């Protein structure tokens, strides 16, 4: 056997192991896709599910540096739509725009040189398809690699538990934030550190978005830019239809005051003020604030309003800081590792409060190290080296009280 056959079999074997280990269809597909990407040295790929009502296809999981959340195909349209409709794989080992202009247009901003698209379906239903794009070295996929991708589609279909309920679609609200080509560099003398290298991300009204990634990959930097605490070096950041990339300090201050609530790992409460006084301090700075009593009731601390920070647990202090963020009735809450300093039980108390706030319509963007919190999110964005790397739309949302670590 030549070496490409050997590596193809190895990839398939690894994919099979990953699929067998998975406990849900989504996990099986995602893990299988990642194994194939790694082995074929592909740049990206996506799993597309068909909407049960109108058969429109939307990506629910992808590896790419762009946000594909709003992309969709109809059956028959583009490689994805054709594969879904005909249940025949398509291979473009050497891709040109003339082969499939639709797909190029819909893979927002990504130039495709090579692509493989395979169906996945249960015994009775077409569920969608799986797409692989571009070799990392700019070359083309081989026929052996295309065979592996096809077999991966079949394995995924076999992994499908017929009893698994296909969950309702996520119907995102309108886009309230657009981040395009955002970079952030720090210059110290002659040394330029590129922290963000071109982030493209949309944020949808009312969603719970989790940002994950290794320490130092730029999560806090991104959060600070979208929170109006920092400027990008280049690129565009738009919120509620207004551009803020080059905004003056004054406009950024207004933007933060009118729209954004912040929660950090450290609670930053005034030690010499009780819970209620800590909130009242904020009330004087914002127009139309919530009452301190109401905010404390929302975070279940109505009984603790006269306690000083030193008289409360870490979880209770963090809930006071959430109440403080709620005082200005923000449309968006940005939380940077809010449970990192808390133990399991108090983390769940804090997340339970956040779940309730999101359910009432507040958009939440949370940076965390904790993979388990992803189960609560509408979308999970994994960053790597200053870029978006992987996005999951969560079709099986858990409650805070279901999380275990």
Ligand X SMILES: Nc1ncnc2c1ncn2[C@@H]1O[C@H](COP(=O)(O)OP(=O)(O)O)[C@@H](O)[C@H]1O
User: Would you tell me which residues interact with ligand X (CB under 6 A)?
Assistant: 186, 193, 195, 213, 215-221
**Within 13 A of 260's CA, how many CA atoms are on the CB side?**
23
Per partner kind, with CB cut-offs from 5 to 8 A, the member of ligand X, Mg ion, none near residue 45 is: none
When the beta carbons of 206 and 385 are compared against Mg ion, the nearer one is: 385
Per partner kind, with CB cut-offs from 5 to 8 A, the member of ligand X, Mg ion, none near residue 398 is: none
Per partner kind, with CB cut-offs from 5 to 8 A, the member of ligand X, Mg ion, none near residue 221 is: ligand X
Report 360-399 residues binding Mg ion (CB under 5 A).
Answer: none
When the beta carbons of 99 and 183 are compared against ligand X, the nearer one is: 183
Find out whether 360 and 321 touch, Cβ atoms under 8 Å: no
Closest approach, Cβ 224 to ligand X, in A, equals: 8
Find out whether 192 and 228 touch, Cβ atoms under 8 Å: no
Closest approach, Cβ 73 to Mg ion, in A, equals: 36
Closest by alpha carbon to 117, among 160, 83, 151, 157? 83
Closest approach, Cβ 320 to Mg ion, in A, equals: 22
When the beta carbons of 172 and 218 are compared against ligand X, the nearer one is: 218
Per partner kind, with CB cut-offs from 5 to 8 A, the member of ligand X, Mg ion, none near residue 166 is: none
Give me the residue whose beta carbon is nearest to Mg ion: 220
Closest approach, Cβ 218 to ligand X, in A, equals: 4
Per partner kind, with CB cut-offs from 5 to 8 A, the member of ligand X, Mg ion, none near residue 362 is: none
Give, as one character, the DSSP assignment of residue 290: P
Tokens 């790419």, residue located: 64
Paired tokens of 90? 């398509």
Distance CA 26, CA 30 (A): 6
Distance CA 300, CA 123 (A): 49
When the beta carbons of 261 and 386 are compared against ligand X, the nearer one is: 386
When the beta carbons of 78 and 218 are compared against ligand X, the nearer one is: 218
**Within 13 A of 223's CA, how many CA atoms are on the CB side?**
28
When the beta carbons of 142 and 265 are compared against ligand X, the nearer one is: 265
Rg (the chain; Cα; Å): 23
Closest approach, Cβ 316 to Mg ion, in A, equals: 24
> How many helices, marked H, and strands, marked E, lie in the chain?
11, 15
Strands 175-188 and 191-204: antiparallel
Indicate whether 221 belongs to the interface with Mg ion (CB under 5 A). no
Per partner kind, with CB cut-offs from 5 to 8 A, the member of ligand X, Mg ion, none near residue 218 is: ligand X
Distance CA 401, CA 405 (A): 11
Paired tokens of 173? 């609200």
Paired tokens of 289? 């604030």
Strands 208-212 and 379-384: parallel
When the beta carbons of 7 and 220 are compared against Mg ion, the nearer one is: 220
Return the residue of 220, 278, 317, 363 that touches Mg ion, per CB under 5 A: 220
Closest approach, Cβ 227 to ligand X, in A, equals: 12
List interacting residues with Mg ion (CB under 5 A): 220
């Amino acid at each position: 056997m030549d070496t490409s056959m050997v590596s193809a079999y190895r990839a398939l074997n690894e994919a099979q192991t990953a699929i067998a280990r998975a406990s849900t269809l989504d996990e099986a597909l995602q893990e299988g896709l990642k194994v194939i990407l790694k082995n074929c040295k592909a740049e990206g790929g996506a799993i597309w599910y068909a909407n049960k009502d109108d058969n429109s296809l939307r990506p629910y999981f992808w590896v790419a540096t762009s946000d594909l959340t709003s992309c969709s195909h109809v059956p028959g349209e583009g490689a994805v739509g054709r594969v879904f409709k005909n249940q025949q794989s398509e291979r473009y080992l050497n891709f040109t725009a003339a082969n499939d202009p639709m797909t190029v247009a819909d893979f927002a901003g990504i130039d495709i040189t090579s692509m493989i698209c395979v169906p996945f379906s249960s015994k009775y239903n077409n569920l969608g398809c799986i797409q692989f794009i571009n070799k990392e070295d700019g070359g083309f996929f081989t026929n052996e690699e295309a065979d592996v991708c096809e077999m991966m589609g079949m394995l995924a279909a076999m992994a499908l538990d017929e009893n698994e309920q296909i969950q309702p679609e996520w119907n995102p609200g309108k886009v309230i934030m657009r981040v395009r080509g955002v970079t952030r560099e720090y210059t110290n003398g002659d040394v330029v550190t590129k922290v963000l290298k071109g982030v493209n991300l949309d944020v949808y009204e009312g969603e719970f978005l989790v940002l994950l990634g290794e320490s130092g990959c730029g999560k806090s930097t991104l959060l600070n830019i979208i929170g109006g605490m920092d400027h990008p070096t280049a690129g565009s950041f738009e919120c509620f239809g207004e551009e803020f990339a080059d905004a003056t300090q004054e406009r950024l201050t207004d933007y933060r005051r009118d729209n954004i609530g912040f929660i950090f790992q450290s609670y930053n409460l005034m030690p010499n003020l009780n819970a209620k006084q800590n909130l009242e301090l904020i009330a004087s700075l914002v127009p139309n604030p919530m009452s301190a009593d109401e905010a404390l009731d929302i975070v279940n601390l109505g009984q603790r309003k006269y306690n000083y920070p030193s008289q409360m647990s870490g979880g209770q202090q963090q809930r006071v800081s959430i109440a403080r963020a709620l005082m200005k009735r923000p449309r968006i809450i940005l939380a940077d590792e809010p449970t990192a300093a808390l133990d399991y039980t108090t983390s769940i108390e804090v997340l339970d409060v956040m779940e309730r706030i999101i359910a009432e319509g507040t958009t939440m963007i949370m940076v965390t190290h904790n993979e388990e919190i992803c189960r609560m999110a509408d979308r999970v964005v994994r960053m790597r080296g200053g870029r978006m790397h992987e996005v999951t739309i969560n079709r099986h949302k858990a409650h805070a009280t279901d999380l275990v670590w």
